[in-house]
Chains A and B, each alone.
Chain A
Amino acid sequence: MERATIATVWLEGCAGCHMSFLDIDEVLLDLLPRIELTDSPITDFKDFNFRRVDVGIIEGAIGNNEQLEIARRLRDRCKILVAWGDCAVFGGINTLRNAIARADVLKCAYIDSASTVDGIIPDDKELPVLLQKTVPVNRMVEVDVYVPGCPPSPEAIAYSLTEILEGRIPVLTADMIHFD
């Protein structure tokens, strides 16, 4: 069988979901011969032009215009889009900033934080700009498979990937869903 191509990205998140993916133990040995990771923070191949892939996976919420662009591009180039973790599925801890004006968020991070002396807010034109609010992925692009959890359990990640490789769209069972 031809290997399924998979691209994963890490948007506004902590990499915990990718860690959980690496934590799936022996299942990884079953999966690896059947997949090819094209672009992923794990392989450090970060070409966000993405060649066409079978499965796109997003970890993290969408909080700035770069993340939005990556999410749209990945959606465009993959057949099945998976949202990994609470940030991608619900917005997660990043949404704490949604109650605060964007200027105040930046001031808080770059000037007022306890470890900062004489801080400045970076304003290079190359830098991405914060969106009004941090939002879950399905608010911006269509998502096919949801794997919530902070991080999702290795079992949930292994199950959902295996199901996709078997040609099914997985829905996690109650015991595999958790939001914490």
Chain B
Amino acid sequence: MEKNIEKIKITLDGKDCRVNRDITILEAARQHGIYIPTLCHHPAVSAYGGCRLCMVEVDGAPRLAASCVTPVRDGMEVVTSNGKIIESRRIVLEFLFSERNHNCMFCGQSGDCELQNLAYEMQMDHLSVFSSFDEFPIDITNEYMALDHNRCILCGRCIRACREITGAHVLDFVNRGAKSIVSFDLNETRENSTCFKCGVCMEICPTGAIFSRLRPYSAVKGHDKKKWRKIESICPVCGMLCPTESIVSDNTLLKVNSSPLGIANKPDGGQLCCRGRFDVLASTEERLVYPMMKNQEGNWQKTGWKEALGVVAERFNHIRDSQGGKALFGIAAGMYANENLLLFKELMIRGWKAGYVDTFDGAAYRSFLAAQNKADVTVRESAFDAIAGADAIFVFGSDCCRSHPIIPAMITKSVMNKGAKAIVVGDEEHHLPKVHHFLPVPEEGLPLLASALLKKVLDLRLPTAETPERKKVRESVRDIDPVQIMTHLGLDKKAIITLDNMANLFASAVRPMIVTGNSGVGEKDSRRLLDIIRLASLASHGDALPLIIAKPNGNSVAAWRIGTSSQEKPPKGNGWKAGFVLTACMEDPPREILDGFEALDFLVVAGPFVPKGILARKAEILLPSPTWMEEDGDYASMDGKQVVYKKKILDAPDGVSDCREMLLKLAEHTGAIFQYNTPDEIRQFARQRITGD
């Protein structure tokens, strides 16, 4: 038997219990179903012993002990509740309430507060110690979260979460005694600090001190919280597929939580970023809730589903039959689930023989393909958890840190906890508090700088053997002059030294990792990717390149592999007569597609929101579809390693039809026969396309 699972005997409230030797009294009590109230304790962070609510009596000693920090000992006799203990807890609770201004009646967290719950539970119906009513500051600099020091009990949970869960350590105490407050950096505001607004402090705060400015006051009066439903799902916003726990009441989303307890194989252990936590709550776009058709005067009119779909099918069928499918095109958002992307492509290509089908992020796909072909390698990216194992992480272009905020969070954790080095080439908004080397380069300068860095690295003596492939790479950068590039980019001599240092670090790192964006801005993006792929291949080990490419949309990888995204650019002088746009947000279609818009006879726009701009002007028919929250479905992770099923979180508003049902109904009109029809068949078919099994 291993030593660490050796059991000892303790007595909890007169009951003999066998427990592991290395745990605390609190853990032992919880394992044996004995309740001890806590506030500063949270299983996701280290023990602190600060709030003194978990006091218990040990071996009859006159002084009570904090159970969350007292280890068990063989033969220990613990009493978790008696008159003295209850009196002690109650007075502690009164002190916590009277220390600052806890006015539940106008606190947005009321009804969803651990401090309040304990007061109710301990029947604290008044305070016998009085508040000073001293006022403390409030930080409302961030648009999503506020910090009200008046409601802080200084339990330090947020500080430990910020340090231990996110690795950022932005929060800590400043000042002393009764004037102590939780501070960002050194007395900075949240907005001006190095905080990247992941919101874990807010989620873990046991009071209303750190609260969401989106849907506060959502817990209704008294004890009505029972109506809340918790739905475990995933966030498909950026493709990292972080696990979420959505709180829903009466089909209204109240908040999105992460998994503070951590899930080992998920990005950043199951944390969320500001986008995953707040984006859906902050959305204010106007919903499209019934099919609409433009009448002869060009005004929008409400219509029925049957009529709307009938008109769409008739017009598309007619153009297909009279002018051929070449006159038709379709474009879908890369945010949709696999099922929608697959059905959309099949409807357009098999049903209507459309000449061109693409996704909004198709350009990014094509720039990636172009770079891959030119580099003459099959790009196998690393899984995103490889960031945790890297000792030098090169961020090439700060755009990926903004589109995928969990990436800087993961890098920061490696930097702070493991001493990894973060290197950034790009603009200053990279959200990394501690950067080893930084080169300020605008987005258009990235391809040149990638070449310069590649050249510099190749000029060094590399630890791995020279291969024919490397010779080819050497050949490709033979004429590159890094100094000339740096001068061209307006960088000084110091920057040239930084570039040398970066190259040295890349060559000497045991496990370097490159993280880059994939903005899809055509040729430039492709050139950036090309030299980065070449650079990564110099440090390749195993079958994956030390490279992570942040994709532009949540389900880009699925759209690429299913083939909804086109490998070809839209044809010039396309001669399109009708088009079908499946949008997910208010974004305009890419410019390449818009070229053909003015000549269109007929345009259908399907999506959750009322379109604006050119889509609204040119569309003849609008078809409402659910948001991703209102639909279940499969999503492929950004690294393409897995396909994850996302549960439905909310019901779509009345009148909004299931998107897949809509596409299947249209397919029926086209006369095409699909080999799959049930949700399961569609899902399986899409899965095979993505993972190949």
Q: Is B121 an interface residue when CB atoms closer than 8 A count as contact?
A: yes
As a 0/1 sequence over residues 663 to 693 of chain B, the CB contacts with chain A under 8 angstroms (1 = contact) are 0000000000000000000000000000000
Which of the 9-residue segments A41-49, A108-116, A120-128, A171-179 touches chain B? A171-179
Which of the 9-residue segments A32-40, A51-59, A73-81, A141-149 touches chain B? A141-149
Beta-carbon contact of B105 and A93 below 8 Å:
yes
Taking the nearest CB of chain A, how far is it from the CB of B123, in angstroms?
6
Which parts of A87-143 form the interface with B (CB within 8 Å)? 89-93, 95-96, 98-99, 133, 135-136, 138-139, 143
Taking the nearest CB of chain B, how far is it from the CB of A57, in angstroms?
15
Beta-carbon contact of A146 and B126 below 8 Å:
yes
Q: Is B221 an interface residue when CB atoms closer than 8 A count as contact?
A: yes
Q: Is A71 an interface residue when CB atoms closer than 8 A count as contact?
A: no
A93 and B101 alpha carbons, distance in the complex (Å): 10
Chain B residue numbers with a CB within 8 Å of A149 are 222
A153 and B133 alpha carbons, distance in the complex (Å): 26
Beta-carbon contact of A174 and B101 below 8 Å:
no
Residue of A95, A99, A138 touching B103 (CB-CB under 8 A): A95
Residue of A95, A136, A172, A177 touching B127 (CB-CB under 8 A): A136
Beta-carbon contact of A180 and B111 below 8 Å:
yes
A136 and B94 alpha carbons, distance in the complex (Å): 14
A31 and B263 alpha carbons, distance in the complex (Å): 57
Chain A residue numbers with a CB within 8 Å of B111 are 180
A99 and B135 alpha carbons, distance in the complex (Å): 6
Q: How large is the interface on A (under 10, 10 to 19, 20 to 34, 35 or more residues)?
A: 20 to 34
A149 and B106 alpha carbons, distance in the complex (Å): 12
Least CB separation from A147: chain B residue: B125
Least CB separation from A97: chain B residue: B133
Beta-carbon contact of A177 and B106 below 8 Å:
no
Q: Is A86 an interface residue when CB atoms closer than 8 A count as contact?
A: yes
Beta-carbon contact of A148 and B126 below 8 Å:
yes
Chain A residue numbers with a CB within 8 Å of B134 are 99
A92-B105, A179-B104 are known contacts. Are A171 and B123 too (CB-CB below 8 A)? yes
A93 and B110 alpha carbons, distance in the complex (Å): 14
Beta-carbon contact of A146 and B125 below 8 Å:
yes
Taking the nearest CB of chain A, how far is it from the CB of B442, in angstroms?
47
Beta-carbon contact of B125 and A92 below 8 Å:
no
Chain B residue numbers with a CB within 8 Å of A83 are 126
Chain B residue numbers with a CB within 8 Å of A153 are 222
Beta-carbon contact of B103 and A148 below 8 Å:
no
As a 0/1 sequence over residues 77 to 114 of chain B, the CB contacts with chain A under 8 angstroms (1 = contact) are 00000000000000000000000010111110011000
Chain A residue numbers with a CB within 8 Å of B130 are 135-136, 139
Chain B residue numbers with a CB within 8 Å of A133 are 133
Q: Is B116 an interface residue when CB atoms closer than 8 A count as contact?
A: yes
* 16 additional contacts (CB under 8 A) given A93-B105, A148-B126, A180-B104: A90-B127, A92-B105, A98-B133, A98-B135, A136-B126, A138-B127, A139-B130, A147-B125, A148-B125, A171-B125, A177-B125, A178-B221, A179-B105, A180-B107, A180-B111, A180-B222
List the interface of chain A (C-beta within 8 A of B).
Answer: 83, 86, 89-93, 95-96, 98-99, 133, 135-136, 138-139, 143, 146-150, 153, 171-175, 177-180
List the interface of chain B (C-beta within 8 A of A).
Answer: 101, 103-107, 110-111, 116, 119-128, 130-131, 133-135, 221-223
Between-chain CB contacts (< 8 Å), 10 pairs: A86-B104, A86-B105, A135-B130, A136-B130, A146-B126, A147-B125, A175-B120, A175-B223, A177-B119, A177-B123
